[in-house]
Amino acid sequence: MAEENKSSLDPLAALCKRRGFIYHSSEIYGGMPGFWDYGPLGCELKQNVKQAWWQFTVRGREDVAGLDATIIMHPKIWKASGHLDTFADPMTMCKQCKKLMRADQIDDIRAELGKKAAAVNPAYALSCPHCGGEMTEPKPFNLMFKTVVGPIDDPSNVAYLRPETAQAIFAQFTNVLSTSRQQVPFGIAQMGKSFRNEVTPRNYTFRSREFEQMELEFFIRPDEAVEILHGHVVTLADNPDLNGPVQDDWGWEVWHKYWVEQRKKFLNAVGLPTEHFVEYWQKPDELAHYARACVDIEYDFPFGRQELEGIAARSDFDLTQHQKHSGESQMVFDDPLKQAAKKLDDAARKAFIEKVQADWVSRGKDPIAAEKFCLNLFDGKYVPHVIEPSAGVDRLMLALLCEAYEEQKLTDEKGKEDIRTVLHFHPKVAPVKVAVFPLVKKDEACFNMAREIFDKLRKKVNCFWDASGQIGRRYRRQDEAGTPWCITVDPESPKDGKFTVRDRDSMQQERMTYEEFLVKMYAALEF
C-alpha cells in the first residue's frame, strides 16, 4: 500500500466497491453491520484463496484428509466444546447514548475516533468514547447465533450456527479415521462458513458476523507414546529440520513449530512477504487452560497490527471432551506403539509410569489418571493430541488486498504526471489471470485471432475480453482488477503468429507465441 494511505482503508474500500470486489450486504435496504458480499472479482479472489489453501493443506500432502460438514450440528457439540458456556465477549452499553461496545475494545474505539472521541470521565469506571456517558458493568455476551430446528419454536429445539468449523472435525474424527486409511499422525481439514454475533464488527471485513474459515486439525501422538516408540522425543532444543520430511519421533513442540512454518510458507506462496507479518507467541497467562502453545500470525493492516490467523497446540482437550459428552470412545489403536510397549519389561514399565506421573503432577494433573493413561499406552491406545492451524478466508483476502494495493505516481516522456492504481496480486490468487484485447476491432483477422486465443485460454483460467476503448485505458482497467497479463492482438499478429503480452507490475511488453505464453503463465501459477 502507498505510504500516504497506510493508515486508512478508505481508498482500498472505494476501489473494492467500484471494481466489484466487496459490497455491503443488503445494501439497497441500508446494509447490515458485519455482513459483506463479494462481487464478480471478489468471489474469484475468494475461490482462488480457498483453492490455494486446499491444494497446499490437503491435496498436496499424503497425511491430510478433507471434510465438509453441516453448519448446524447437534447442540451438545457446543456444550462439549465449551462454546455454550464460555464463548462470550464482555459487553457494555452507554447509559447515555445507548451504544453497545465490547468492554475490552473501548480504548481501541477511542483511538480510532481520535479527535472526535469524548474525554475520559474519571468519575466512571468506564466512560463512553462517543459521548463521555457512563457505561454499564460489562456482562458476558455469548457470540453464537441461535436458531430453531423444525416447526416448533421451543427451547428444546434450539440449535446454533457454528462459530468455528473445527468442532465438526472432532465430532467426525472416528468416521474419518476409519474411512480414510490414515493413521496418527494425520490431519483433517475443513473450509466453510462460520458465524459469530460480534458485539462490534469493525475494520471493514476484518471482524464480520458471517465469515469463512480454513481449519486443519492435525492429530499427533502424545509425547509419552513417542517416547515408548523411539526411546526419545525430539524437541525444538534438538534443532530439527522443519523444512524436510516430517519425522515419527517429533514431539508436540516440534509439530507445532512445523505448522507455524508451513503456514508462513503458504502465506508467502499467495503473496504475503515474511517481512510483513510477525509471529506472536502467546504468553502462559494468555493461553487457554488446555493449550500448550499458541502462535498468532499478525499482519500490519492499515488500522494496526492484528491477528491474521492462529496455530494452537490444544493437547487432547477437544477429543477428550467429546468422548466425555458423547460417551463414544475417541481413542485410537496404534499397533506400532503396542509392539514397542511389549518390549518393555516390568521394571521399565514401572519407571515409565513414575516418570509420567512426576511430569503430570508438575503440571497440576492427577497421578492416578497418569497411571491409567500409561496402561492404555502399553495397550497401544490413546486419545490423540492436536495441532490446529486456523485461518480466516475473509481476513486473508483483506490482507492480500492491502498488500496488493498501490497508487503509483507515473511520469511520461513529456514529464506529465499520472496516478496508476494497481493491485499487485500474486498470479495464483489474481481474480482474472489474463485479459485479451484485439487492438483493432474492425480488423477481422486481428479480431478473430484474439477471440480464438480468448476462447482457448478461458478453458484453462479465468479470462476477460475487452474490445473497446483506448488500449492504455484497457490496461489501466486490468491494473485495478489485478490482472497479471494483458494480451494484445494487433494486425501483425495473424501474419507472424505472435501477440504482445503486457506485464502488470513492470508494464513491460513482450511479443510471444501462444505456446510461449502458456509456459510463462503456468510457471507463475504453480505451487
CA-CA distance, 81 to 86, in Å (whole number)?
9
Residue given cell 506485464 in the structure block: 503
Binding segment (CB under 6 A) for ligand GAP, from list 15-23, 45-53, 71-79, 387-395? 387-395
- C-alpha grid cell, residue 348: 521399565
- C-alpha grid cell, residue 194: 462460520
384 binds ligand GAP (CB under 6 A): no
Partners of 217 in the β-ladder: 188
318 binds ligand GAP (CB under 6 A): no
215 binds ligand GAP (CB under 6 A): yes
- Which of 21, 160, 211, 437: binder of ligand GAP (CB under 6 A)? 211
- State the amino acid at position 30 in one-letter form: G
Partners of 420 in the β-ladder: 408
42 binds ligand GAP (CB under 6 A): no
Give the chain's length: 527
Return the H-helix or E-strand segment holding 264.
helix 252-269
Of 227 and 309, which has the nearer Cβ to ligand GAP? 309
Query: Would you say 74 and 198 are in contact if contact means Cβ atoms under 8 Å apart?
Result: no
- C-alpha grid cell, residue 91: 459487553
- C-alpha grid cell, residue 385: 493430541
- State the amino acid at position 307 in one-letter form: E
Binding segment (CB under 6 A) for ligand GAP, from list 20-28, 146-154, 327-335, 389-397? 389-397
298 binds ligand GAP (CB under 6 A): no
Q: Determine the size of the site formed for ligand GAP (CB under 6 A).
A: 18
399 binds ligand GAP (CB under 6 A): no
CA-CA distance, 259 to 265, in Å (whole number)?
10
421 binds ligand GAP (CB under 6 A): no
- Which of 307, 354, 371, 407: binder of ligand GAP (CB under 6 A)? 307
Site pattern 158..197 for ligand GAP (x: CB under 6 A): ------x-x-----------------------------x-
- Which of 220, 391, 450, 481: binder of ligand GAP (CB under 6 A)? 391
Of 44 and 309, which has the nearer Cβ to ligand GAP? 309
Question: Three-state SS for 431?
Answer: coil
What angle separates helix 223-230 from helix 335-342, to the nearest 10 degrees? 60
81 binds ligand GAP (CB under 6 A): no
- Whose CA is closest to 433, among 493, 478, 489, 499? 478
Query: Would you say 511 and 490 are in contact if contact means Cβ atoms under 8 Å apart?
Result: no
CA-CA distance, 451 to 436, in Å (whole number)?
8
Of 269 and 440, which has the nearer Cβ to ligand GAP? 269
Q: Measured between alpha carbons, how far is residue 4 from residues 9, 21, 100 in Å? A: 11, 22, 32
Partners of 511 in the β-ladder: 500
Binding segment (CB under 6 A) for ligand GAP, from list 133-141, 144-152, 203-211, 347-355? 203-211
Query: Would you say 36 and 394 are in contact if contact means Cβ atoms under 8 Å apart?
Result: yes
CA-CA distance, 258 to 388, in Å (whole number)?
12
Partners of 234 in the β-ladder: 250
Residue facing ligand GAP at closest CB distance: 392
Of 233 and 312, which has the nearer Cβ to ligand GAP? 312
208 binds ligand GAP (CB under 6 A): yes
294 binds ligand GAP (CB under 6 A): no
Binding segment (CB under 6 A) for ligand GAP, from list 53-61, 353-361, 371-379, 386-394? 386-394
- State the amino acid at position 527 in one-letter form: F
Of 183 and 306, which has the nearer Cβ to ligand GAP? 306
Shortest distance, position 141 Cβ to ligand GAP, whole Å: 14
- Which of 162, 207, 292, 426: binder of ligand GAP (CB under 6 A)? 207
Q: By the criterion CB under 6 A, which residues form the site for ligand GAP?
A: 164, 166, 196, 198, 207-208, 211, 213, 215, 307, 309-310, 388, 390-392, 394-395
